[in-house]
Chains A and B, each alone.
Chain A
Amino acid sequence: MSAFVQITDVTRVFGPKLSLGEKIAAKLGGNVETRSVRAVSGVTLSVRKGETLGLVGESGCGKSTLGRAIAGILPPTSGTVTIDGAPVMADGTKATTRVQTVFQDPFASLDPRMKVGHTVAEGPIAHGLTTRADARRYVADWFDRVGLDPAWVERHPHQFSGGQRQRIAIARALAMQPDVLICDEPVASLDVSIQAQIINLFLELTRDLALTSVFISHDLSVIQHVSDRVAVMYLGRIVELGPVGEVFGNPAHPYTKALFGSVPKLVLDADELVRFETIEGEVPSPLSPPTGCNFHPRCPCATTICQTGRPSMEPIHDYRSVACHHYKACLGKEEHD
Chain B
Amino acid sequence: MSDPVLSVKGLSTHFFTRAGVVKAVNGVSFDLARGEIMGLVGESGSGKTVTGFSLLGLVDAPGRIVEGSIKLNGVELTTLSEAELRKRRGHEISMIFQDPIATLNPMLTIGQQMKLAIDAHERVSAAAARSRATELLTQVGIPSAAARLRAYPHEFSGGMRQRVAIAIALLHRPSVIVADEPTTALDVSIQAQILAKMRALARETGTAMVWISHDLAVVSSLASKLAVMYAGRIVEEGPTATLLRDPRHPYTAGLIASLPAMAKPGAPLNQIAGSTPSLLSLPEGCPFSPRCTHASGQCTTDADMTQNGGRQWRCFHPVGQTAPEPA
Contacts and interface: CB of A to CB of B under 8 A. Distances in A.
Interface of A: 58-59, 161, 163-164, 191-197, 199-200, 203-204, 218-222, 224-226, 244-245, 258-259, 261-271, 273-274, 276-279, 282-283
A277 B196 CA distance: 9
Given A193-B254, A270-B241, A276-B192, A225 B265 contact: yes
B187 A59 contact: yes
Contact of A267 (B214, B240, B258): B240
Contacts of B268: 200, 203-204
B260 A264 contact: no
A44 B187 CA distance: 25
B221 A276 contact: yes
Of B157, B188, B241, B276, most A-chain CB atoms within 10 Å: B188
A315 to B, nearest CB: 24
A262 B192 contact: yes
Contacts, number: 139
B199 interface: yes
A312 B196 CA distance: 34
A-B pairs, top 8 by smallest CB distance, nearest first, are A262-B192, A196-B258, A191-B43, A225-B260, A58-B187, A193-B272, A196-B269, A276-B196
A265 B215 CA distance: 10
Interface in B230-289: 239-242, 244-245, 254-256, 258-263, 265-266, 268-272, 275-276
A192 B275 contact: no
Contacts of A226: 265-266
Interface string B102-124: 00000000000000000000000
Interface of B: 43-44, 157, 159-160, 187-193, 195-196, 199, 214-218, 220-222, 224, 239-242, 244-245, 254-256, 258-263, 265-266, 268-272, 275-276
6 contacts: A193-B271, A219-B260, A225-B260, A267-B244, A268-B241, A276-B221
Contacts of A262: 188-189, 191-193
Contacts of B242: 271
Contacts of B241: 267-271
Contact of B265 (A244, A258, A261): A244
B44 A263 contact: no
A265 B259 CA distance: 11
A230 B120 CA distance: 52
B188 A265 contact: no
B228 to A, nearest CB: 12
Contacts of A196: 258-260, 269-272
Given A193-B43, A193-B272, A271-B241, 12 more contacts: A58-B189, A161-B275, A192-B43, A200-B269, A204-B268, A262-B192, A264-B215, A264-B218, A265-B217, A267-B244, A271-B239, A276-B221
Nearest to A261: B192
A200 B244 CA distance: 23
B199 A278 contact: no
Contact of A277 (B157, B192, B254): B192
B189 A225 contact: no
B265 A224 contact: yes
B240 A259 contact: no
Contacts of A261: 192
Given A221-B260, A226-B266, A163 B275 contact: yes
Of B187, B195, B199, B220, most A-chain CB atoms within 10 Å: B187
B265 A259 contact: no
A277 B187 CA distance: 14
A196 B272 CA distance: 8
A187 to B, nearest CB: 9
A222 B263 CA distance: 11
Contacts of B222: 264
A265 B187 contact: no
Contact of B188 (A222, A224, A259, A266): A259
Given A225-B265, A271-B241, A277-B192, A266 B216 contact: yes
A159 to B, nearest CB: 13
A208 to B, nearest CB: 13
Contacts of B271: 193, 196-197, 200
A145 B44 CA distance: 27
A161 B277 CA distance: 11
A199 B269 contact: yes
A118 B298 CA distance: 44
Contact of A279 (B44, B189, B255): B189
Contacts of B190: 282
Given A59-B187, A258-B189, A266 B259 contact: yes
Nearest to A260: B188
Nearest to A223: B260
Contacts of A273: 199, 221
Contact of B258 (A193, A204, A218, A282): A193
B202 to A, nearest CB: 11
B221 A269 contact: no
Nearest to B271: A196
A131 B199 CA distance: 61
Given A195-B258, A244-B265, A266 B217 contact: yes
A280 B263 CA distance: 31
A267 B219 CA distance: 9
B244 to A, nearest CB: 5
Nearest to A219: B260
Contact of B220 (A199, A266, A277): A266
Contact of B187 (A161, A164, A218, A268): A218
A221 B266 CA distance: 11
B195 A276 contact: yes
Nearest to A226: B266
A270 B245 CA distance: 9
Nearest to A61: B187
Given A225-B263, A225-B269, A269 B245 contact: yes
